[in-house]
Amino acid sequence: MSEAVNDQTRERILDSAELLFARKGFDAVSIREITGASKSNLAAVNYHFGSKFNLYMEVFRQRWVPRTRRIRKQFAERLADTPEPRIRDVVNAMVRSFLDGQLTDQERLIHGQLMQREIASPTDALKMVVEEVMRPQQQRLSDLMRPHLPAHVDENRLRLSLLSVIGVTLYFTFARPVVSRLTGQEYDDEFKAVLIDHITTFAIDGMNALNKEYN
């Protein structure tokens, strides 16, 4: 068995597939395009993954999910610097983990685009990702913030607030074409720094709304 070679082909296919699925969406990408980009044979996708759709699922299982582990690790390290994290520290770490971090800019883009497309046309990949990644992370965030919130804030309201922070952050990531056109700003380092400042401030004050009772 030449497993090493096999694995290399498999990995190259996964890399090309992730990039192309992210850029163009599942239906707009052909197996020919993927095998062309990964310099592998047309038959390799079906040999290694069984079908085009199963390759798509493997992209999530072997690329998307592992990447969230790196993101989460960095999130945890940022919080570790502040022994008693307050809400503003958690929010800041959340925002930065999406907009700034060890991921390359292209990786972040791919990551977000894949998720955005999954949301627009959900498949089994979304189900898997929500249960294995998002729900546990939501619980972690909730546990971090809970001690700083008044007792009258129930779990549902807290969840909605967390989702809102994520929502506004994601909007600035994936709606890049709209934001760039409207503001006339490229997403360079300077603009990203402004964005992080802005979103953190906006979101912290939004979270603080939890401290008031609904009227």
Partner DNA sequence: GTCTATAGCAGGATAGAC
Partner DNA sequence: GTCTATCCTGCTATAGAC
Q: What residue ranges bind a second copy (CB under 8 A)?
A: 23-28, 113, 116-117, 119-122, 126-127, 130-131, 134-135, 138, 156-157, 159-161, 163-164, 166-168, 170-172, 174-175, 177-179, 181-183, 194-195, 197-199, 201-209, 212, 214
Tell me, residue by residue from 22 to 61, as one string, x for binding to DNA by CB under 7 A and - for no binding: -------xxxxx------xxxxxxxxx-xxxx--------
Identity of residue 168: V
3-class DSSP state for residue 4? Answer: helix
CB of 3 to a second copy, least distance (A): 35
Which residue, 44 or 199, has its beta carbon nearer to DNA? 44
Q: Which two tokens stand for residue 177?
A: 């074409």
Q: How many CB atoms lie within 10 A of CB 215?
A: 3
Which residue, 13 or 158, has its beta carbon nearer to a second copy? 158
With helix as H, strand as E and coil as C, how does 77-121 read?
Answer: HHHHCCCCCCHHHHHHHHHHHHHCCCCCHHHHHHHHHHHHHHHHC
CB 186 within 8 A of CB 159: no
CA geometry: angle at 11 spanning 10 and 16, to 5°? 100
Tell me, residue by residue from 1 to 20, as one string, x for binding to DNA by CB under 7 A and - for no binding: xxx-xx-xx-----------
- Which among a second copy, DNA, none contacts residue 1 (Cβ within 5 to 8 A by kind)? DNA
Which residue, 123 or 208, has its beta carbon nearer to DNA? 123
The Cα–Cα gap between 7 and 19 comes to 18
Which residue, 43 or 130, has its beta carbon nearer to a second copy? 130
Which residue, 5 or 182, has its beta carbon nearer to DNA? 5
- Which among DNA, a second copy, none contacts residue 42 (Cβ within 5 to 8 A by kind)? DNA
3-class DSSP state for residue 150? Answer: coil
Q: Total residues at the site for DNA (CB under 7 A)?
A: 25
Q: Does the CA dihedral 122-125-126-128 come out positive or negative?
A: positive
Best CA proximity match to 38, nearest among 67, 60, 18:
18
- Which among DNA, a second copy, none contacts residue 212 (Cβ within 5 to 8 A by kind)? a second copy
Residues that bind DNA (CB under 7 A): 1-3, 5-6, 8-9, 29-33, 40-48, 50-53
